[in-house]
Structure 1
Amino acid sequence: MFKKIIDKEKGRFMKKIYILGAGHMGGAILFGLRGKYGTSHLMAVETNASRAAYLTACGFEVGERIEKIECGDIVVLAVPPQQFQIAVRDNKVLLSHNGPVISVMAGVTTKSLRRTLGHARLIRSTPNTASEVREGITIYYAQENADSDLIAAAQMIFGAIGSYIQVDNECLIDSGTALAGGGPALVAYFANALQQYAESEGFDSKVAWEICTQLLYGTSLLMRSTGKTSMQLCKEVQTAGGTTERAIQVFERNDLNRTIALALTAAAKRSVELGR
């Protein structure tokens, strides 16, 4: 039972969490979990030698495969979806493991996971790389008959790396992959445009970076602290005939909303393709 996984008094794991694939996303989860629980019950399963060496230097237990696994141990599948079958082939203990399995692989459906692994104690999710600093957002799906211990295990992990939202329709995971999973890259892309403008106007690159990161951080904090909608904040900054209104008018003339929607739709479609 899940109550055996956590020692509530000490706040420590009693079972192990295996991160299968410790690249950008798997690594972000790994570092986020370390910030909450330490490293003693975490193991990175990574075949890339340089990446494995780096994680070892960071104090993590690292192995090329899972040699032995206990019933209550949790497995996080974070390999690229194209490598899922290879990862299972190289970690045959997964085929006899009936403990919680959490997939963060884009496009790989619950049905496909169940068919390959042979059991239904599965969570499909889409976290993001902000999990590394425990400020991620994870969207996850559990089958209707999922047991409470499985849900608790997933929420324990997702809660340690940020916020989480459960959806009842698995199709929303593909949209969530585009929105939440890819979101940090989209936001960073916009931030880069701001920084490029600042540098082109004569700001030092370090100063430009500081301005842009504070803009993102401050605006996000303002939205969360006040509960105001994004467009409410947008309108509050604008004054009739002012400088910000002129900038927003350029966005509207170029239909920026439609461009962003097209980008997210393309990403969600790719998520579906990866699962085929």
Structure 2
Amino acid sequence: MKLAFIGGGNMGEAMLAAILEKGLSTAENVTVSDISEPRRRYLKQKYGITVTGDNRQAAVESDVVVLAIKPQQLAEAMSGLSGRLHAAQLVLSIVAGAGTGTLCRGLGHNRVIRVMPNTPAQIGEGISVWTATAEVSEEQKAQAAAILGAMGRQVYVTDERYLDMATAVSGSGPAYVFLFAEALTSAAVDIGLPDDMARELALETVLGSARFMQGSDRPPAELRRMVTSPGGTTAAALARLEKGQFTELIKQAVRAAYERAKELGN
């Protein structure tokens, strides 16, 4: 499989590294186009791939063109590639907020997959939600599933509206978890724990709890009840959280992210 990456930032590099590690392609069959010369030099040195500053040169002979650029760079990139892609090429976009309609019109090309990955994909622990236009073949869908699966889990949906919803949950979700860990660390310091110990306790608690949930067949609400003794310390903490409308605030935050995702898509 020959691949061209338009953009070699953090998420593009994460995908590149996963593809090479899993043997889905080889360095000789990967080209990355990036506007930054230092970035190109770094990627070439680390992965032994071909690099260029010319998007069209990168895409010309590839089977899959991965759009891994910032949203503000998309219009220029699409303009440069429009009319240059051959009919059988697959375009896989991880550009936030760019719908398949926007991509198809901008590229003059119909074989498009839109993906919403998330930050943990950079360590192979991500989850990517994706959809494809009708013109994408089953073989190309299988290629996309393999690429995204190399970075963690992948979920295919036929209704593109779910991608905006996923953006608000799994796309922005890591930031919610980071904020919770930050707040828990700060609270630990406030009650007297040393900084390094506070951070370790907070991070390991978040990580361990997530793994515990993942390995259990019980829903989170039941797990929460299992560790909450009436009149105990956990009950006191949860009561204070709900007094501050913790659950409602999370709902409002997710709704705000969802509405913003729809705005960006339009």
Is this a same-fold pair by TM over 0.5?
A: yes
- State the TM-score, normalizing by the size of structure 2: 0.88
Moved more, 48-57 or 180-189: 48-57
Match of 2:52 in 1: 63
SS, match of residue 154 in structure 1: helix
Residue 16 of structure 2 aligns with an amino acid whose one-letter code is L
Candidates 211, 214, 230, aligned match of 2:220: 230
* Higher relative contact order, chain-length normalized (CA < 8 Å, sep 6+): 1
Hey, what's the Cα distance between the residues in 2 that align with 1:203 and 1:35? 41
Flag structure 2 segments of 5+ consecutive residues without an equivalent: none
Hey, what's the Cα distance between the residues in 2 that align with 1:91 and 1:168? 26
Match of 2:39 in 1: 51
Residue 54 of structure 2 aligns with an amino acid whose one-letter code is R
Superposition misfits of 4+ residues, deviation over 4 angstroms: 90-94
Deviation at 1:241, TM superposition (A): 0.6
Q: Residue by residue, what CA displacement relative to the aligned partner does 1:19-61 show, whole Å, maximum 9, x if unpaired?
A: 2222233233233334323761433322134433443443353
Hey, what's the Cα distance between the residues in 1 that align with 2:20 and 2:197? 31
Q: Residue by residue, what CA displacement relative to the aligned partner does 1:219-248 show, whole Å, maximum 9, x if unpaired?
A: 111112122211111111100011111111
- Give yes or no for the alignment of 1:137 onto 2:117: no
Hey, what's the Cα distance between the residues in 2 that align with 1:145 and 1:96? 13
Residue 65 of structure 1 aligns with an amino acid whose one-letter code is D
Q: Is the 8 A contact 1:71 1:97 kept in 2?
A: no
SS, match of residue 58 in structure 1: helix
Residue 152 of structure 1 aligns with an amino acid whose one-letter code is A
Moved more, 138-147 or 125-134: 138-147
Hey, what's the Cα distance between the residues in 1 that align with 2:231 and 2:263? 46
Identity %: 32
Moved more, 115-124 or 39-48: 39-48
Candidates 166, 170, 192, aligned match of 1:180: 170
Hey, what's the Cα distance between the residues in 1 that align with 2:63 and 2:103? 18
How many residues are aligned here? 262
Candidates 114, 120, 126, aligned match of 1:124: 114
Match of 1:11 in 2: none
**Counterparts in 2 of 1:183-194, with a 5 A limit?**
183-194=173-184
Q: Is the 8 A contact 1:175 1:268 kept in 2?
A: yes
Residue 106 of structure 2 aligns with an amino acid whose one-letter code is T
- Give yes or no for the alignment of 1:104 onto 2:94: yes
Residue 248 of structure 1 aligns with an amino acid whose one-letter code is L
Moved more, 62-71 or 123-132: 62-71
**Counterparts in 2 of 1:13-28, with a 5 A limit?**
15-28=1-14
Q: Is the 8 A contact 2:131 2:157 kept in 1?
A: yes
Q: Residue by residue, what CA displacement relative to the aligned partner does 1:190-241 show, whole Å, maximum 9, x if unpaired?
A: 1111111222333333322222221122111111212221111111110001
Hey, what's the Cα distance between the residues in 1 that align with 2:34 and 2:110? 25
- Note closer, same or farther for the CA distance 1:133–1:196 as it changes in structure 2 (3 Å cut): same
Candidates 230, 242, 250, aligned match of 1:240: 230
Residue 63 of structure 1 aligns with an amino acid whose one-letter code is T
